[in-house]
Amino acid sequence: MELFFKKIKLTVLDKYEVTDEKGNLVYDIRGQLISSGDHFRINDASGREVASVHKKKLSIRDKYVINTAAGVSTDVFRIDTIRKMPEYRAKQIGWTLKGDFSRKSLRITEGLHTIAEIRPKLLSFKENLRIDVKKEGHELLAVALLLTGEADMAAKPENAETK
């Protein structure tokens, strides 16, 4: 399934929209007023909260936590690699988000299997991404993991030049 992830500009809060191939809203994502990129709510097209992403700062190393309304919960850790391209590992589900964030060429994997490929949407700015989810039912967690990486990269001052 192809989804399109778009950051909405000119808003006070962090806001993203995820649409399908026909332009129909699939998920509406909003940052919380008190959070500055540390807490997001993901709502489906009807406005029902289906997941949340929040940063947990009081741990040994910063991590994000993804919780879904279906009961899935996973901790996401940033791993800095030798190539200076961070990876985000979702511990409890065994997924990894990796690739080149500056070029928005990313992949979500589970071991050797590709869950989703993320690329800039053709004929669009790099804030508009195409998420090609390979297996039905993995869309929400793929969007939440991508959101985790985006929020973390935006929050780190050393990443400012790659935006």
CATH number at residue 136: 2.40.160.200
Question: pLDDT of 27-75, one tens digit each?
Answer: 999 987 555 558 999 999 999 999 999 988 766 677 899 999 999 999 9
Residue range 6-34: average pLDDT? 85
Q: How far apart are CA 55 and CA 4, in angstroms?
A: 24
Number of domains the chain contains: 1
**pTM summary value:** 0.88
Q: How far is CA 22 from CA 8, 9, 44, in A?
A: 18, 22, 16
User: Is 74 in contact with 90 (CB distance < 8 Å)?
Assistant: yes
What is the domain range of residue 104? 2-162
Q: How confident is the model at residue 91 (pLDDT cuts 50, 70, 90)?
A: very high
| 88 pLDDT above the threshold of 80 | yes
Query: Could you count the other beta carbons within 10 Å of the beta carbon of residue 125?
Result: 11
Residue 163 pLDDT: 38
What is the C-alpha separation between 131 and 20, in angstroms, rounded? Answer: 10
Do 42 and 50 form a contact (C-beta atoms < 8 A)? yes
- Eight-state DSSP code of residue 9: P
At residue 162 the predicted structure's pLDDT band, cuts being 50, 70 and 90, is very low
